[in-house]
Amino acid sequence: MIEGLFRLDGKVALVTGGAKGIGAMITQGLVESGAKTYISSRSASACEAFAQEMSQYGTCIALPMDLSNLDNIERLCQQIGEKEEKLDILINNSGVSWGAKLGEFPEKGWDKVMDLNVKSLFFLTQGLLPMIKAASSPESPGRIINISSVAARIAGGLDAFSYNASKAAVENLTKVLANKLAKDHVLVNAIAPGFFPTKMTSHFDEKELIKHIPLNRTGNPTDMAGLAIFLCSKASNFMTGTYIPIDGGQLIA
């Protein structure tokens, strides 16, 4: 019963923002677990380079695309559709942040974050739903995993107003989609990372942040990969609509 519980052999996955940061951690976990994994990111060079690096562990294919506008989302859906008949796993990871003081926060900082973190997530999911449903059955549900953040539930102080709001929207949208797609045997869950050292978090004082993390450390790649593999594997077949913090206890501190 336990053998192969966390293996993803034969599965096809797409990870957006899959070449860097948390997306790269998830990508490596999926590839090493046997999934044929497509990655998409705005930087074509980074996407191609990381796909080549991951090919030592399994199958990883780069499909570079800037997902901040609907035309490119349609192109990515078309490209996946030309290569595959079904899609077992969609990881909606692409995201951006913006920081500014309340009285100075610009409209472009609001729109850029909400468009990529929420709007693009929704329309990419919409565009790929036929392929995800084609891969889904009661015994082997399809997976949509949205990357939210502990920022969805934290009111304190990074002056990232649109980012916090966007990640709260992702949490709620996850529940709405989970309810809507349950009848189609598609599981929709959200991962909510705390502090993981990435390019997006590089400007923070790590030592200061650790003071607010009960486990007294930051997250590492195997922490993130482990949770993603679990949510993509048959070990989580009875889970949908969940919001799972992976934060070293930050939300309970």
Which of the residues are catalytic? 163
What are the angstrom distances between the C-alpha of 26 and each of 72, 90, 93, 133, 140?
A: 23, 11, 9, 22, 20
Cα distance between residue 223 and residue 220, in whole Å: 5
Q: Which amino acid is at 213?
A: I
Q: Is residue 169 within 8 Å of residue 177, measured between CB atoms?
A: no
Cα distance between residue 156 and residue 151, in whole Å: 9
Residue 31: its H or E element: helix 21-32
* Tokens at 136, concatenated: 């889904």
* Burial of 140 (C-beta count, 10 Å sphere; 0-12/13-18/19+): middle
Q: Is residue 113 within 8 Å of residue 97, measured between CB atoms?
A: yes
What are the angstrom distances between the C-alpha of 167 and each of 66, 148, 164, 196?
A: 20, 5, 5, 16
Is the torsion defined by CA of 69, 189, 113, 51 positive or negative?
negative
CA torsion 2-247-50-64 (nearest 10°) is: 110
